[in-house]
A = this chain, B = another copy of it.
Protein backbone atom coordinates (compact mmCIF):
# COMPACT_ATOMS: atom_id res chain seq x y z
CA UNK A 1 0.00 0.00 0.00
CA UNK A 2 1.42 3.40 -0.87
CA UNK A 3 2.30 5.68 1.98
CA UNK A 4 -0.18 8.53 2.12
CA UNK A 5 1.31 11.76 3.36
CA UNK A 6 -1.08 13.69 5.57
CA UNK A 7 -0.80 17.41 4.95
CA UNK A 8 -1.25 19.31 8.19
CA UNK A 9 -3.99 21.94 8.17
CA UNK A 10 -2.55 25.28 9.25
CA UNK A 11 -4.30 27.29 11.94
CA UNK A 12 -6.91 29.72 10.71
CA UNK A 13 -8.15 32.91 12.35
CA UNK A 14 -8.89 33.01 16.09
CA UNK A 15 -12.64 33.05 15.41
CA UNK A 16 -12.35 30.06 13.05
CA UNK A 17 -10.39 28.07 15.65
CA UNK A 18 -12.93 28.95 18.34
CA UNK A 19 -15.79 27.87 16.07
CA UNK A 20 -13.94 24.63 15.41
CA UNK A 21 -13.35 24.00 19.12
CA UNK A 22 -17.04 24.70 19.80
CA UNK A 23 -18.02 21.79 17.52
CA UNK A 24 -16.48 19.36 20.03
CA UNK A 25 -18.34 20.61 23.09
CA UNK A 26 -22.09 20.86 23.66
CA UNK A 27 -23.03 24.29 24.96
CA UNK A 28 -25.64 23.03 27.42
CA UNK A 29 -25.60 21.22 30.75
CA UNK A 30 -27.63 20.49 33.87
CA UNK A 31 -26.45 23.67 35.60
CA UNK A 32 -25.91 25.87 32.52
CA UNK A 33 -28.30 28.84 32.39
CA UNK A 34 -26.22 30.54 29.67
CA UNK A 35 -23.43 28.79 27.78
CA UNK A 36 -20.40 30.10 25.91
CA UNK A 37 -20.60 33.16 23.69
CA UNK A 38 -21.41 36.07 25.99
CA UNK A 39 -19.07 37.98 28.31
CA UNK A 40 -19.67 35.36 31.01
CA UNK A 41 -21.35 32.00 31.18
CA UNK A 42 -24.08 31.75 33.81
CA UNK A 43 -24.46 28.67 36.00
CA UNK A 44 -27.32 27.72 38.25
CA UNK A 45 -25.98 27.20 41.76
CA UNK A 46 -28.08 25.77 44.49
CA UNK A 47 -25.27 24.44 46.69
CA UNK A 48 -21.90 25.81 47.77
CA UNK A 49 -19.56 26.09 44.80
CA UNK A 50 -16.18 24.30 44.70
CA UNK A 51 -13.59 25.84 42.35
CA UNK A 52 -10.08 24.83 41.37
CA UNK A 53 -7.53 25.95 38.75
CA UNK A 54 -4.61 23.92 37.42
CA UNK A 55 -2.01 24.57 34.77
CA UNK A 56 -1.00 21.85 32.32
CA UNK A 57 2.13 23.02 30.53
CA UNK A 58 4.23 21.48 27.79
CA UNK A 59 7.67 20.38 28.99
CA UNK A 60 6.65 20.98 32.61
CA UNK A 61 3.66 18.64 33.00
CA UNK A 62 3.80 16.78 29.69
CA UNK A 63 5.90 16.25 26.57
CA UNK A 64 4.47 16.15 23.09
CA UNK A 65 7.03 13.47 22.18
CA UNK A 66 4.96 10.86 24.02
CA UNK A 67 1.62 12.55 24.79
CA UNK A 68 -0.75 12.50 21.83
CA UNK A 69 -2.97 15.59 21.50
CA UNK A 70 -5.85 13.38 22.71
CA UNK A 71 -3.86 12.43 25.84
CA UNK A 72 -3.06 16.09 26.55
CA UNK A 73 -6.71 17.13 26.31
CA UNK A 74 -7.85 14.26 28.51
CA UNK A 75 -5.24 14.72 31.22
CA UNK A 76 -5.51 18.53 31.41
CA UNK A 77 -9.17 18.14 32.34
CA UNK A 78 -8.68 14.98 34.42
CA UNK A 79 -6.25 16.53 36.90
CA UNK A 80 -8.68 19.40 37.48
CA UNK A 81 -11.72 17.19 37.89
CA UNK A 82 -9.73 15.19 40.41
CA UNK A 83 -9.76 18.28 42.65
CA UNK A 84 -13.56 18.29 42.53
CA UNK A 85 -13.53 14.56 43.32
CA UNK A 86 -11.33 15.33 46.32
CA UNK A 87 -14.06 17.65 47.68
CA UNK A 88 -16.91 15.28 46.84
CA UNK A 89 -18.39 17.80 44.40
CA UNK A 90 -20.57 17.14 41.37
CA UNK A 91 -19.01 18.91 38.32
CA UNK A 92 -21.05 21.83 36.93
CA UNK A 93 -18.73 23.23 34.27
CA UNK A 94 -15.18 24.14 33.29
CA UNK A 95 -13.29 26.82 31.40
CA UNK A 96 -10.09 26.37 29.38
CA UNK A 97 -7.37 28.88 28.56
CA UNK A 98 -5.46 27.37 25.65
CA UNK A 99 -2.18 28.74 24.26
CA UNK A 100 -1.02 27.28 20.96
CA UNK A 101 2.60 27.25 19.77
CA UNK A 102 3.57 28.30 16.24
CA UNK A 103 3.85 24.70 14.99
CA UNK A 104 0.29 23.84 16.07
CA UNK A 105 -2.08 22.78 13.31
CA UNK A 106 -5.79 22.02 13.25
CA UNK A 107 -5.07 18.31 13.81
CA UNK A 108 -3.46 19.19 17.15
CA UNK A 109 -6.45 21.36 18.09
CA UNK A 110 -8.86 18.61 17.06
CA UNK A 111 -7.02 15.88 18.96
CA UNK A 112 -6.82 18.04 22.07
CA UNK A 113 -10.54 18.76 21.90
CA UNK A 114 -11.45 15.13 21.29
CA UNK A 115 -9.57 13.90 24.37
CA UNK A 116 -11.00 16.68 26.52
CA UNK A 117 -14.53 16.27 25.17
CA UNK A 118 -14.41 12.50 25.73
CA UNK A 119 -13.73 12.95 29.44
CA UNK A 120 -16.12 15.92 29.66
CA UNK A 121 -18.93 13.74 28.28
CA UNK A 122 -18.10 10.92 30.72
CA UNK A 123 -18.07 13.32 33.65
CA UNK A 124 -21.11 15.25 32.34
CA UNK A 125 -19.26 18.53 32.67
CA UNK A 126 -19.83 21.21 30.01
CA UNK A 127 -17.19 23.62 28.68
CA UNK A 128 -18.62 27.03 29.60
CA UNK A 129 -15.89 29.43 28.55
CA UNK A 130 -12.25 30.04 27.86
CA UNK A 131 -9.68 31.96 25.90
CA UNK A 132 -7.20 31.29 23.11
CA UNK A 133 -3.76 32.75 22.51
CA UNK A 134 -0.33 32.18 21.04
CA UNK A 135 2.61 31.01 23.19
CA UNK A 136 6.03 29.42 22.82
CA UNK A 137 4.63 26.04 23.83
CA UNK A 138 1.31 24.34 24.30
CA UNK A 139 -0.20 25.53 27.58
CA UNK A 140 -3.54 24.77 29.15
CA UNK A 141 -5.10 26.43 32.17
CA UNK A 142 -8.31 24.81 33.30
CA UNK A 143 -10.75 25.94 35.96
CA UNK A 144 -13.46 23.59 37.18
CA UNK A 145 -16.65 24.35 39.10
CA UNK A 146 -18.62 21.84 41.10
CA UNK A 147 -21.31 21.79 43.74
CA UNK A 148 -21.87 19.96 46.99
CA UNK A 149 -23.61 20.68 50.28
CA UNK A 150 -20.92 18.73 52.16
CA UNK A 151 -17.46 19.67 50.85
CA UNK A 152 -14.87 17.18 52.15
CA UNK A 153 -11.68 18.82 53.40
CA UNK A 154 -8.15 17.92 54.39
CA UNK A 155 -6.86 18.07 57.92
CA UNK A 156 -9.99 17.01 59.80
CA UNK A 157 -8.58 13.80 61.33
CA UNK A 158 -8.60 12.99 65.04
CA UNK A 159 -6.35 10.42 66.74
CA UNK A 160 -7.43 6.83 66.13
CA UNK A 161 -9.27 7.73 62.89
CA UNK A 162 -8.72 5.32 60.01
CA UNK A 163 -6.72 6.32 56.92
CA UNK A 164 -8.09 5.01 53.63
CA UNK A 165 -6.94 4.92 50.01
CA UNK A 166 -9.04 4.58 46.86
CA UNK A 167 -6.85 3.84 43.85
CA UNK A 168 -3.29 2.85 43.02
CA UNK A 169 -0.12 4.73 43.89
CA UNK A 170 3.24 4.60 42.15
CA UNK A 171 1.92 3.57 38.75
CA UNK A 172 1.86 7.06 37.22
CA UNK A 173 5.40 7.77 38.46
CA UNK A 174 6.54 4.48 36.97
CA UNK A 175 4.80 5.36 33.70
CA UNK A 176 6.47 8.76 33.64
CA UNK A 177 9.93 7.24 34.12
CA UNK A 178 9.30 4.67 31.38
CA UNK A 179 7.92 7.24 28.92
CA UNK A 180 10.79 9.64 29.63
CA UNK A 181 13.32 6.91 28.95
CA UNK A 182 11.73 4.89 26.15
CA UNK A 183 9.19 7.29 24.66
CA UNK A 184 5.76 6.24 23.45
CA UNK A 185 6.98 2.69 22.73
CA UNK A 186 6.91 2.04 26.50
CA UNK A 187 3.11 1.83 26.19
CA UNK A 188 3.17 -1.60 24.55
CA UNK A 189 5.53 -3.17 27.08
CA UNK A 190 4.13 -1.47 30.21
CA UNK A 191 0.57 -0.53 29.31
CA UNK A 192 -0.74 -0.13 32.88
CA UNK A 193 1.84 2.34 34.24
CA UNK A 194 1.85 4.30 30.96
CA UNK A 195 -1.96 4.56 30.98
CA UNK A 196 -1.83 5.67 34.62
CA UNK A 197 0.44 8.54 33.60
CA UNK A 198 -1.24 9.45 30.29
CA UNK A 199 -4.92 8.93 31.18
CA UNK A 200 -5.55 9.31 34.91
CA UNK A 201 -9.20 8.81 35.81
CA UNK A 202 -10.65 11.37 38.23
CA UNK A 203 -12.57 9.53 40.96
CA UNK A 204 -15.64 11.71 40.79
CA UNK A 205 -18.17 8.97 41.59
CA UNK A 206 -16.22 7.87 44.67
CA UNK A 207 -15.87 11.47 45.88
CA UNK A 208 -19.60 12.08 45.50
CA UNK A 209 -20.44 8.84 47.35
CA UNK A 210 -18.23 9.89 50.26
CA UNK A 211 -19.80 13.37 50.35
CA UNK A 212 -23.29 11.88 50.39
CA UNK A 213 -22.29 9.45 53.16
CA UNK A 214 -20.90 12.39 55.14
CA UNK A 215 -24.13 14.31 54.56
CA UNK A 216 -26.27 11.38 55.68
CA UNK A 217 -24.24 10.78 58.84
CA UNK A 218 -24.25 14.48 59.53
CA UNK A 219 -28.06 14.45 59.37
CA UNK A 220 -28.25 11.41 61.66
CA UNK A 221 -25.69 12.37 64.29
CA UNK A 222 -23.85 15.64 63.89
CA UNK A 223 -20.58 14.47 65.43
CA UNK A 224 -20.07 11.75 62.82
CA UNK A 225 -19.77 13.96 59.75
CA UNK A 226 -15.98 13.93 59.83
CA UNK A 227 -14.60 12.46 56.60
CA UNK A 228 -11.30 14.01 55.49
CA UNK A 229 -10.41 13.70 51.82
CA UNK A 230 -7.86 14.84 49.22
CA UNK A 231 -6.50 13.61 45.91
CA UNK A 232 -2.92 12.41 45.53
CA UNK A 233 -1.23 14.73 43.05
CA UNK A 234 2.25 15.11 44.52
CA UNK A 235 2.66 11.58 45.88
CA UNK A 236 1.85 9.97 49.23
CA UNK A 237 5.09 11.15 50.82
CA UNK A 238 4.27 14.78 50.17
CA UNK A 239 0.48 14.62 50.37
CA UNK A 240 0.04 12.59 53.58
CA UNK A 241 1.24 15.49 55.79
CA UNK A 242 -1.30 17.72 54.02
CA UNK A 243 -4.10 15.27 54.78
CA UNK A 244 -3.08 14.78 58.40
CA UNK A 245 -2.14 18.34 59.36
CA UNK A 246 -0.33 18.20 62.69
CA UNK A 247 -1.41 14.60 63.33
CA UNK A 248 0.77 11.59 62.66
CA UNK A 249 -0.12 8.11 61.42
CA UNK A 250 1.10 4.56 61.38
CA UNK A 251 0.38 3.05 57.97
CA UNK A 252 1.06 0.00 55.81
CA UNK A 253 0.89 0.32 52.04
CA UNK A 254 -0.85 -2.35 49.97
CA UNK A 255 1.32 -4.54 47.75
CA UNK A 256 2.71 -2.64 44.75
CA UNK A 257 1.22 -3.31 41.32
CA UNK A 258 3.14 -6.25 39.70
CA UNK A 259 4.28 -4.05 36.79
CA UNK A 260 6.20 -1.82 39.20
CA UNK A 261 7.98 -4.81 40.74
CA UNK A 262 8.69 -6.14 37.22
CA UNK A 263 10.32 -2.85 36.22
CA UNK A 264 12.42 -2.75 39.40
CA UNK A 265 13.58 -6.28 38.64
CA UNK A 266 14.53 -5.25 35.08
CA UNK A 267 16.46 -2.34 36.54
CA UNK A 268 18.48 -4.89 38.53
CA UNK A 269 17.41 -3.66 41.97
CA UNK A 270 18.76 -5.91 44.75
CA UNK A 271 15.31 -5.93 46.43
CA UNK A 272 12.72 -5.21 43.67
CA UNK A 273 9.78 -5.50 46.08
CA UNK A 274 11.28 -2.89 48.42
CA UNK A 275 12.18 -0.57 45.53
CA UNK A 276 8.60 -0.88 44.26
CA UNK A 277 7.25 0.05 47.70
CA UNK A 278 9.38 3.20 47.71
CA UNK A 279 8.06 4.00 44.24
CA UNK A 280 4.49 3.75 45.58
CA UNK A 281 5.33 5.99 48.50
CA UNK A 282 6.97 8.69 46.38
CA UNK A 283 4.34 8.39 43.66
CA UNK A 284 3.14 11.63 42.09
CA UNK A 285 0.18 12.24 39.76
CA UNK A 286 -1.62 9.21 41.17
CA UNK A 287 -4.99 10.99 41.41
CA UNK A 288 -6.10 8.34 43.85
CA UNK A 289 -8.19 9.59 46.77
CA UNK A 290 -6.84 9.42 50.29
CA UNK A 291 -8.93 10.14 53.34
CA UNK A 292 -9.58 9.79 57.03
CA UNK A 293 -12.70 8.79 58.93
CA UNK A 294 -13.74 7.62 62.40
CA UNK A 295 -13.11 3.86 62.77
CA UNK A 296 -16.80 2.93 62.95
CA UNK A 297 -17.33 4.30 59.42
CA UNK A 298 -14.73 1.98 57.88
CA UNK A 299 -17.21 -0.77 57.12
CA UNK A 300 -19.83 1.64 55.68
CA UNK A 301 -17.27 3.17 53.31
CA UNK A 302 -16.03 -0.25 52.25
CA UNK A 303 -19.61 -1.34 51.52
CA UNK A 304 -20.21 1.69 49.27
CA UNK A 305 -16.76 1.67 47.63
CA UNK A 306 -15.39 -1.92 47.76
CA UNK A 307 -12.09 -0.81 46.21
CA UNK A 308 -11.25 1.14 49.38
CA UNK A 309 -8.11 -0.02 51.19
CA UNK A 310 -7.53 0.88 54.84
CA UNK A 311 -3.90 1.78 55.51
CA UNK A 312 -3.83 2.25 59.27
CA UNK A 313 -4.57 4.78 62.00
CA UNK A 314 -4.07 8.41 62.80
CA UNK A 315 -1.84 9.01 65.84
CA UNK A 316 -1.53 11.84 68.29
CA UNK A 317 2.04 12.90 67.47
CA UNK A 318 3.32 14.42 64.20
CA UNK A 319 5.29 11.36 62.99
CA UNK A 320 4.07 9.62 59.86
CA UNK A 321 5.38 6.08 59.54
CA UNK A 322 4.70 4.11 56.36
CA UNK A 323 5.78 0.47 56.63
CA UNK A 324 7.88 1.74 59.59
CA UNK A 325 9.61 4.15 57.21
CA UNK A 326 9.62 7.95 57.82
CA UNK A 327 8.54 10.22 54.96
CA UNK A 328 10.67 12.13 52.44
CA UNK A 329 10.61 13.44 48.86
CA UNK A 330 8.12 15.22 46.61
CA UNK A 331 8.25 17.32 43.49
CA UNK A 332 8.90 21.05 43.11
CA UNK A 333 8.97 22.93 39.78
CA UNK A 334 11.31 25.52 41.28
CA UNK A 335 13.47 23.31 43.51
Q: What residues of chain A have their CB less than 8 Å away from a CB belonging to chain B?
A: 11-17, 33-34, 38-45, 47-55, 57, 60-61, 83-84, 86-87, 89, 93, 95-97, 99, 128-137, 139, 141, 143, 145-146, 151, 153-154, 229-231, 332-335
Decide: B44 and A332 in contact? CB cutoff 8 A.
no
Contact residues in B for A136 (Cβ distance below 8 Å): 135-137
Q: Which one, B34, B51, B86, B153, contacts A43 given CB within 8 A?
A: B51
Decide: A12 and B334 in contact? CB cutoff 8 A.
yes
Contact residues in B for A33 (Cβ distance below 8 Å): 48, 151
Decide: B137 and A86 in contact? CB cutoff 8 A.
no
Q: Which one, B11, B14, B95, B334, contacts A143 given CB within 8 A?
A: B95
Contact residues in B for A38 (Cβ distance below 8 Å): 87, 153-154, 230
Q: Which 4 pairs from chain A and chain B are nearest by CB?
A: A141-B141, A39-B86, A136-B136, A40-B50
Contact residues in B for A335 (Cβ distance below 8 Å): 13-14
**Least distance between A287 CB and chain B CB atoms (Å):** 11
**Least distance between A50 CB and chain B CB atoms (Å):** 4
Contact residues in B for A16 (Cβ distance below 8 Å): 334
Given A83-B40, A86-B40, A134-B60, decide whether A51 and B17 contact each other with a Cβ distance below 8 A: no
A-B contact pairs, 6 of them (CB 8 A): A42-B48, A43-B48, A43-B49, A51-B128, A53-B130, A53-B143
Given A52-B95, A132-B333, 7 other A-B residues pairs in contact with their CB atoms under 8 A = A14-B334, A43-B51, A51-B93, A60-B135, A97-B97, A99-B139, A143-B143
**Least distance between A49 CB and chain B CB atoms (Å):** 5
Contact residues in B for A96 (Cβ distance below 8 Å): 53
Q: Which of A50, A84, A231 gathers most chain B CB within 10 Å? A: A50
Q: Which one, B84, B86, B97, B146, contacts A55 given CB within 8 A?
A: B97
**Least distance between A14 CB and chain B CB atoms (Å):** 5
Decide: A135 and B135 in contact? CB cutoff 8 A.
yes
Contact residues in B for A231 (Cβ distance below 8 Å): 39
Decide: A99 and B57 in contact? CB cutoff 8 A.
yes
Given A99-B57, A333-B134, decide whether A151 and B50 contact each other with a Cβ distance below 8 A: no
State A137–B44 Cα separation when bound (angstroms). 36
Decide: B41 and A99 in contact? CB cutoff 8 A.
no
- Chain B, residue nearest A82 (CB): B39
Contact residues in B for A134 (Cβ distance below 8 Å): 57, 60, 333-334
**Least distance between A170 CB and chain B CB atoms (Å):** 21
State A304–B141 Cα separation when bound (angstroms). 38
Contact residues in B for A146 (Cβ distance below 8 Å): 40
State A333–B134 Cα separation when bound (angstroms). 7
Contact residues in B for A34 (Cβ distance below 8 Å): 151, 153
